Structure 1
Amino acid sequence: MSYASEVMRLAGVENVRIEKAFAQVPREAFLPPPPWTMISMGIATQTSQVSDIYSNVLVAIDRKRGINNGEPALHAAWIDTLNPQPGETVIHVGAGTGYYTAILSQLVEADGHVEAFEYEADLAVQARQNLQDYSNVTVHAESAFGRVLPKADVVYVNAGVVAPDVEWLRALNPGGRLIFPWQPHKGWGPAVLVRRSGKVLSAQPLMNVGFISCSGAKESVSVRNLPTEADLAAVRSIWVKGDRAPDASAVAVYEDVWFSSEDPGF
């Protein structure tokens, strides 16, 4: 079975466009030179064989900093959930050296655009080099946290946050989608899918994940106790405080945003 087909199978995804993107983008072109350190089930092994990295494993970019090229099946599942379309604009937060940026660029095609943000300066330089042939990608060597962002149809966050940046929510066009690792308990928490309809933002917790923390993020502490596991699972919407004040449905309240158990009904 081909790499792309196996990624789709492991992700439980049937999406010809995503499978084609995984088949077209060479993973080794976005990694450090071999030998590569692969990590699976917490076990690290080294290889210089290109064929070995075409499997569902993490590949280290910088082990000391805990920066990896993530598991392809997880990313395939997330990207399928967001379903980027030709002509759309994507903001990629935590682009690393650009592998999944390249896959996103294939999905939005020539009429779309990917704005890739990478806080680590050396990784941003490498991402620019790796993506120089992708004319619909712009790499920003800066944090995507705490700044006004261009309007986007998709915001794809590959770094854990205690709470999402309010500017990620404000950047979403009508019908826009955001996915981010919500990690209020330092190192783990659910991936959360957010969809915009007017000022209303639905929120759907997905699988638990563990991502490196978002560099440059301001980790505001909740004005209440940190949300419990039950609170994390109960989330159904997210609100900007200027649009609606926290009420009895609040399960986690932060400086600029709050999570609600209230289902927005769309």
Structure 2
Amino acid sequence: MTGPRGEFLERIRQGGVELSPELAAAFARVPREAFVPDGFQRRDGSWVLPADPDFLPTIYHDDVLVTKMDGKVPTSSSSQPSLMALMIEALDVRPGHRILEVGAGTGYNAALLASLGASVTSIDAQEDVAVRARTALARAGIAGVRVEHADGYPGRPRERFDRVIVTVGIAGVSPHWLEQLDPDGFVLAPVVHAGTHPVLRVAGPPVRARAVCGSGFMQASGPLNAPFPDAFPSPAAAMAELTPHAPARYDPPLDESTYRDLWYAAGAWNRRASHAAIPGRRQSCLALLDGTRSGGAVVPPDGSVWAGGDEAAGYGAAAAAVLDRWEAAGRPPMGAWRISLELAGDPHSPIWVPHRWQI
């Protein structure tokens, strides 16, 4: 394989994925460009069209391709290939598996699953997204995928699946998905935790989960994103003026993976954990947000603590305590946590939400 696709597999591997031969062959075989025929949005907000010289080179980078916007809010995309690969490997797909995919996106993820020999039912709440995914799959010559316009929460009543994979950020797992699984099946879903969407492997009864990897997804609507008591605060777009509370602990700063581990632990130990945009930094930082969501404390990757707002001292101390506890626990990785879930959300359409964490 030459040209832009020639380096694609290596770029995915550089994203931290050990590709099985079967999945590597699927990525090499399925043309990603067939699933974005109308182009996609760059990270800088500009639109890439098929006639542009960087159309194919950009498609075969390890990056998300946003394909639909509602104003300034992305509502559909083709996920980052290395994240797709991590989730598909964790799904442990076997030929003949029946897979329910909640969130069709462009259809590319379903195409990869079908290329592994699975039979895929993909549903999307946006009718135009479902239509485009169905058309793209036909264009690419992919068999074994059924795309339907439907709400994801009920799943597919009266049908059975070996796996459920969710490609949209959710507050909790639908009980219907678990009911529709055959024995030894499980749900793989990005469930909100401290303002991020770590991917959980959920099975039951009893309903338990473990974290697979970190991620960031567009947020679902409806029952899958219903509010519930003691939910994490949504991220803060801006914070009050921050002042130093504790000096940096890490030189060099924590790398992305280890910082994500700290972030996950913060969410397990403090329900005010989320993230906040900080002036002068490209990436949002781990934050403990007060009730106004404009104050609290921020912990950058260097382990310093900055605090602001009316309760700055208390939140600064709480952030420092999280760091102390994480160090004392031996810096547990995200995958070390075992998670218990409970029913919450809309009483008429409940969801299983993470409730208790243990290392």
Q: TM-score range by the shorter chain?
A: 0.7 to 0.9
Equivalent position of 2:98 in the other structure: 89
Paired residues of 1:8 and 1:19 also in contact (CA < 8 A): no
Equivalent position of 1:2 in the other structure: 7
**Distance between the aligned counterparts of 2:7 and 2:179, measured in 1?**
39
Cα deviation per residue 1:70-98 (whole Å; 9 max; x = unaligned)?
A: 11001101111111111101111111120
**Distance between the aligned counterparts of 1:203 and 1:121, measured in 2?**
31
Paired residues of 2:155 and 2:177 also in contact (CA < 8 A): no
Cα deviation per residue 1:47-86 (whole Å; 9 max; x = unaligned)?
A: 4231221011111201334022111001101111111111
- CA 1:120–1:201: 2 relative to 1, 3 Å: same
> Displacement, 1:156?
0.8
- CA 1:53–1:238: 2 relative to 1, 3 Å: same
Residues 23-32 or 1-10, more deviating: 1-10
Question: What is the TM-score when the length of structure 1 is the normalising length?
Answer: 0.79
Match of 2:268 among 207, 210, 230: 230
Counterpart code for 1:173: D
Equivalent position of 1:219 in the other structure: 225
1:14-29 to structure 2, matched below 5 A, reads 14-29=19-34
Counterpart code for 2:97: E
**Distance between the aligned counterparts of 2:69 and 2:149, measured in 1?**
21
Equivalent position of 1:137 in the other structure: 145
The answer on 1:121 being equivalent to 2:127 is yes
Unaligned runs of 5+ in 1: 242-252
1:36-75 to structure 2, matched below 5 A, reads 36-39=40-43, 43-44=44-45, 46-47=47-48, 48=52, 49=54, 50-64=56-70, 65-66=73-74, 67-75=76-84
Unaligned runs of 5+ in 2: 1-5, 233-265, 272-333
Q: Secondary structure at the match of 1:145?
A: coil
**Distance between the aligned counterparts of 1:120 and 1:258, measured in 2?**
24
Paired residues of 1:37 and 1:45 also in contact (CA < 8 A): yes
Question: What is the TM-score when the length of structure 2 is the normalising length?
Answer: 0.60
Equivalent position of 1:103 in the other structure: 112
The answer on 1:158 being equivalent to 2:167 is yes
Paired residues of 1:38 and 1:57 also in contact (CA < 8 A): no
Equivalent position of 2:238 in the other structure: none
Cα deviation per residue 1:178-202 (whole Å; 9 max; x = unaligned)?
A: 11111266x5232211245xx3443
**Distance between the aligned counterparts of 1:169 and 1:204, measured in 2?**
15
Cα deviation per residue 1:190-239 (whole Å; 9 max; x = unaligned)?
A: 2211245xx344301233332112244353333x4225701587552446
Q: Secondary structure at the match of 2:213?
A: strand
Cα deviation per residue 1:133-153 (whole Å; 9 max; x = unaligned)?
A: 333111111112135442111
**Distance between the aligned counterparts of 1:51 and 1:127, measured in 2?**
22
> Displacement, 1:15?
0.8
**Distance between the aligned counterparts of 1:8 and 1:221, measured in 2?**
37
**Distance between the aligned counterparts of 1:20 and 1:177, measured in 2?**
25
Cα deviation per residue 1:233-253 (whole Å; 9 max; x = unaligned)?
A: 7552446x6xxxxxxxxxxx4
Paired residues of 1:161 and 1:184 also in contact (CA < 8 A): no
- CA 1:218–1:81: 2 relative to 1, 3 Å: closer
**Distance between the aligned counterparts of 1:51 and 1:95, measured in 2?**
24
Paired residues of 1:8 and 1:76 also in contact (CA < 8 A): no
Counterpart code for 1:80: E
- CA 1:84–1:237: 2 relative to 1, 3 Å: farther
**Distance between the aligned counterparts of 2:23 and 2:149, measured in 1?**
27
> Displacement, 1:260?
5.1
